[in-house]
Amino acid sequence: MSERGGWKRFADWVNGETEAGDPTTQYVMDRRPARIQEAHELHEARERLRLKKFLGLYPLAAGLLCVVLIFILLSTVIYIPPFGQPGNPTNNEVSQHYLEKTVEETGASNAVTGMILCYRGFDTLGESCVLFLAVSSVMILLQRDRNNTGERAQLRMKREDAAERGHEDNILQKSAKLLIPFVFLFAAYVLMNGESSPGGGFSGGAILSGGLILYSVAFGPERLSRLLTRSLYSGVRVVGLMAYALTYGVYIFAGANGLSIDMEWMMTVIELAVGLVVACAIYGFYAMFQRGKI
């Protein structure tokens, strides 16, 4: 009985109902003086004065804060170990292990690639997810279609597109025709050879998206969107991220359980996957900011 009463009281409290059994609250609520309604203009003037005071004080306070912060940081920075010495505390046994064991344990002779794709692969997976989510949110914000664009804006966009199509840049098109195959070739080289030479998924993906953007600038976005349609774009993005997650999952599973699987091809797959995700992300940013659609 008392339990039920307690539950009822709790429910009443959650619902914000005042308790009938407690006369003091009721009394206080009743006796509270009515709120004095300020004149609207007076209120407005006071608010404006407050804002003016704030705006006058804010730059001073911000500048002072910055100067104090720089001073503190500088006085700290002077006492960190000198630049470029081998005995610095950052150059400890972890980096030594990475440098000495990378070839043996991961098959990659580029220690940075070996480190970010094998030893710290989950970190890089998280990074790819960050890029994926950034593109998705930029799409949510900037996507332009029939639902959120007025007729006038759409007409204006169509006019701009037509004007652009009418003025084809001959120099740009000729040089793009020459350059683009080499850009893609170089991107493929950087992607595939990332574990044995400078490069890797991120730089290769950036070069690949550079080629895509050059194509889009030179030959018009419509020609590119006929080749790289919306569904293909989304498919490549999702497949890249999934391939990374799956391959790295297998890698961790096999490594943790001592199974012998040749790891070298896994590195190449992961690198390709990262490259695709990065290329899609950067090209997606460009297309979204330029036209609002892929």
Partner 1 sequence: MPELVAQNRYAVVAVILFGIGLLNLMLQQNLVKKVIGLSIMDSAIFMLLASLGYIEGHGAPIVEEGAVDASLYINPIPSGLVLTGIVVSVSVTAFSLALVQRIYQRYGTVELPELLERAKKEED
Q: Is 25 in the site for partner 1 (CB under 8 A)?
A: no
Report in angstroms how near the CB of residue 93 gets to partner 1 at its nearest. Answer: 9
Q: How far is CA 218 from CA 156, 206, 228, 255, 289, in A?
A: 21, 18, 15, 47, 17
Rounded to the nearest 10°, the torsion over CA 152, 153, 154, 155 is: 50
Q: Is 244 in the site for partner 1 (CB under 8 A)?
A: no
Residue 289 neighbours by CB under 8 Å, 6+ apart: 138, 142
* Residue number, 98 or 248, with CB nearest to partner 1: 98
Binding-residue pattern over the window 132 to 151 for partner 1, x denoting contact by CB under 8 A: -xxx-xx--xx---------
The span from the CA of 180 to the CA of 188, in Å, is 12
Binding-residue pattern over the window 37 to 76 for partner 1, x denoting contact by CB under 8 A: ------------------x---x--xx-xxx-xx--xx--
- Among 99, 185, 227, 242, which residue interacts with partner 1 (rule: CB under 8 A)? 99
Q: Is 85 in the site for partner 1 (CB under 8 A)?
A: yes
DSSP 193-208: TTTTSS--HHHHHHHH
* Residue number, 218 or 282, with CB nearest to partner 1: 282
E strand or H helix that includes residue 50:
helix 40-77
Neighbours of 79 (CB within 10 A): 6
Report in angstroms how near the CB of residue 84 gets to partner 1 at its nearest. Answer: 4
Q: How far is CA 104 from CA 141, 150, 251, in A?
A: 46, 60, 15
Binding site for partner 1 (CB under 8 A): 55, 59, 62-63, 65-67, 69-70, 73-74, 77-80, 82-86, 88, 90-91, 94-96, 98-100, 102-103, 109-112, 115-116, 120, 123-124, 127, 130-131, 133-135, 137-138, 141-142, 196-198, 202, 278, 281-282, 285, 288-289
